[in-house]
Structures are given as structure tokens and as C-alpha cells.
Structure 1
Amino acid sequence: MISNNYFINIARFILLVLVQVLVFNRLNFFGFINPMVYIMFLYWYPIKENRAVFIGLSFLLGISIDFFSDTMAIHAASTVTIAYFRPAIMRFVFGVNYEFQNFKLGNATRVQQFTFLALLIIVHHAVFFTLEIFSLANILLILKKVVSIGLASLVLCLLLGSLFSTKKE
């Protein structure tokens, strides 16, 4: 029988792909800002799960978005990159607490959660827009897109995270 965590992860995967493709890919704030909220799957994925499965799911997530967005595997490359660097980012943000077996993201402080999500978004967007533009001559355009779309993605991810938060304060 499938455990509750697997069902929740499958539901998050499908819902985030649908929301990204059907809603956020169609939005154009100021003509160029398309928030990327599907990164929340990589943020919410359980910490102590099998890393190879996580990287594989990250690839499937990215290639699913690429399939519907016609972006030639740029999303897949970006999601696999942040899936690969996620343990290093977590070690940087959470320090020694990350090494404990019973560590949960919900037990971390709000500042740590915000920093972790912000770093995931920054790394994802830096890889994504560098591959999309593929010219360091346009470094200012890359930085403009990373900052503006990153801020929009961060705000919407925080709103989405608080909307579906199970922790009551």
C-alpha cells in the first residue's frame, strides 16, 4: 500500500505542473515577468529521501514543464542543478541541524526557510536564464531577469507556501 507521503508528493508534482503550465506561464507582469512556482516541489520534497530518486523526479518535473512550454530542456537542466546542489544549500542555511536524522523543514525558523527558498530560486533562475540567453555579453539582461523574476517567484512561492501550510501558529 502506498504511504501518505508518496500520495502527497505525487499530488504536489501534478498540481504544481498544472498550475505552472496553465496559469503562470500565461502571465506576463510588465511584459517579461513569468513567475516559476513549480520550484516549490523541490522545496517541499522530504529531506531524507533517496537522492537519486529526488534527482530523477526533478528531471521529470523540469522536462514536464519543458514539454508544455517548448523550452528545449532548460527547465530540466535548472531543476536537476538545484536538486544536485540542494544538500549543500541546506548545509549552508541550516548548518549542523541539517546533519541530524530527525531534522524537518517545518522545525526551522522562518528566516532559515526564507533563505533556503531564496537560494533555491536564485540558483534555478541563474542557470535557467544563462542557458536561455546563452551569451555572457548580455550579463545585465541575465541579472535583470534573475532578480525581477526571482523576486516575483519568491513572493508567489511564499504566498503559496503560507496558503498550504499545515503548521498552525
Structure 2
Amino acid sequence: MNETLIVYGTRYGATPEACAVIQKILEKDYKIQVEIWDLENYRACPDLEEFDNIILASGIENGKWTKNSEKFLTKDLTGKKVAVFISSSFAGEKELYNHAFKNFLEDVISEYSEVNFVAKAAFGGRVPKKKLPKIASQALLTRLPEFQIDNRDWDKIKEWAHEIGKIFTAD
């Protein structure tokens, strides 16, 4: 059995889109069975005993994980290979990447030393125009695309999927 559960919490939809790309690569290139679960429905989360590997993902807003993503880290993940990533517009900016990686990812997971984190990553995210400052005029807002910022690097996401595919299939 080499089954993987991807669980995520999202703010603006960037995280599940990254999860879908990762799922496709793991299934196609590494023959890993993958199930994706939105932690919005936390209570109905599948039984973790069925999975060898877990990928935990969280969208970031104001430096914070989604509530249920961070709560998921309190589950018994003993014996699981756990990969983790965040989606944050800060991580998509070269000059802010290290800040996002340390403060939004490493500082959070460092509190869970009992978890076997085998890979971690920070990817760009997106910010909808509705989150722009209120001083922006309505005329301006109607001319903007739905997402004012979308700085995800799809090649980086695919590269990481291959990295974890190799880790998950290694004995």
C-alpha cells in the first residue's frame, strides 16, 4: 500500500489548485493512490490509518494558517511521512520568500517535533481584488481582474511534487 492523503485549508482557492497538480503528478508518474480532502469539513476527515503519506497544505492570510490546517497537526501522525506546504503571496515574491518560509512555515511546524516532516515548501498565492484597500475607487476595482495578485510558480509546484513522489516511493 502506498496511499497518500492530501489535506488542505484554503483562503482564496490557490491551495486546492496546487494540490490538484501535485495529485496528478503523484498518480501518473509515481503510481501513488491519492485522495484530496478539504479541511473545511474537518470532522469528516478520512481515517489516517489508511494512508502511508500525508501532504498538509494551508493558505496563509495575515501570516496565519487556516484554523483547521494547523489543528490537523495535532492528529496522531505517527509512522506517516508528512510533506507540508503553504500558499502565500509573500512566498511568491523573491525578496519575501525567506521571510514567508521561516515565519509562516518553519516556525509553525517546529512546534510539532513528533511529526516526521519529509518535505516542506512555500509557494506563491493569490489575493482577490476584494481584499485591496477600501480607498481603491469602485471604477478602478471594476477594471481589475478577479485576482489582483497571482504569483504562483507552477514549475516550482511540479518540481516539488516530483521531489515528494521520490520520497514517498523510496523504501
TM-score range normalised by the length of the shorter chain: 0.3 to 0.5
More helix by share: 1
TM-score by length of 2: 0.32
Higher strand residue share: 2
Of structures 1 and 2, the larger Rg is shown by 2
